[in-house]
Amino acid sequence: MWPIQPDELEAGHVPPDGADGGDAWYFVFVGNELVVKMEHGAPQPITADDFRWFDMEVEHKHFLGSFRGRHCFTLRAAGQAADGFPTVGLRGLLGRTEQAIFYLAGRAQQVLEWHDTHRFCGRCGTEMEDHTNDRAKECPQCGLINYPRLSPSIIVLVTRGEEMLLARNAAWPQGMYSTLAGFVEPGESIEQTVHREVLEEVGLRLGELRYFGSQSWPFPNSLMLGFHAEYESGDIVCQEEEIADAQWFTADNMPQTPPNTAISGWLIKEHVDRVKAGAG
């Protein structure tokens, strides 16, 4: 559940002297694509030494901290990487590299997105400045402070005995099913969001909720809070234009579902494992 152990990442926003050395990791984004190098078939971050060979202009650069003793930076750049250094979207990292690398890349992209979208004060329009003590933007005119934005959302697997409810979003490919999810609205608790989203999307009422875990999901800045929930009552009625189909499935009758690199996959796997253990 913890791709990055608590003692592996020392987060920070001010680099220590000498942090920008040759072996520092650079998470270089051109648009929404990350420049990587391939090692044994797996995409990896480039280093500061690698970047020196690139014909690229740095638009802005931020220190992320140190991961396993290696300093890390994120950069927004324009231009061409050297031959042999492909670019890949964050989704292209899932299942292809160590999960810790995916989470670091997600952190890197979110810091860039926050910088890009908070250059001017949303209250008075003045150009923002970097906060002296925190990773934040501060308005020198009115004092407004903006921290990197996170959007909390819920994701829930509804179960009825051995059965699990899986749904297909209207925008997804045919045959792909997953758990239900939705964003927390102002004034709601996380638990209220779970009940509301399930009722809105498939018309079902829930009984007991059990918190499962969380996952940072940088598309663009979600924090997914996962739950298992017991079915209480109701018949499936799919929300128009949102849910194309929703059905009850068993471990022996599964559609295509997300991989175990996503929290939806974790939720499904835990239920399937629990059912199989009970049958054994």
Residues in CB range of 208: below 8 A, 6 or more apart: 229, 230
Using omega within 30 degrees of 0 as the cis cutoff, is the peptide bond preceding 140 cis? no
> Is 113:99 a contact under the CB 8 Å cutoff?
no
Q: Does the reported pTM lie above 0.85? A: yes
Fold entry, domain 151-279: Nucleoside Triphosphate Pyrophosphohydrolase (3.90.79)
Where are the domains positioned within the chain? Answer: 9-117, 120-148, 151-279
Ordered mean pLDDT values, 10 residues apiece, the chain (280 residues) = 78 94 96 95 96 94 96 96 94 91 96 97 97 96 97 98 96 94 97 98 98 94 97 97 96 93 94 86
Non-local CB neighbours of 70 within 8 Å, separated by 6+ positions: 23, 24, 25
Kindly give, in sequence order, each residue whose CB lies less than 8 Å from that of residue 235, ignoring residues fewer than 6 positions away. 203, 204
CB 268 within 8 A of CB 274: no
| Topology agreement, domain 9-117 and domain 151-279 | yes
Give the integer Cα–Cα distance in Å for 151 and 113: 13
CATH topology of domain 9-117: Nucleoside Triphosphate Pyrophosphohydrolase (3.90.79)
Query: Nearest CA to 224 among 148, 152, 150, 149?
Result: 152
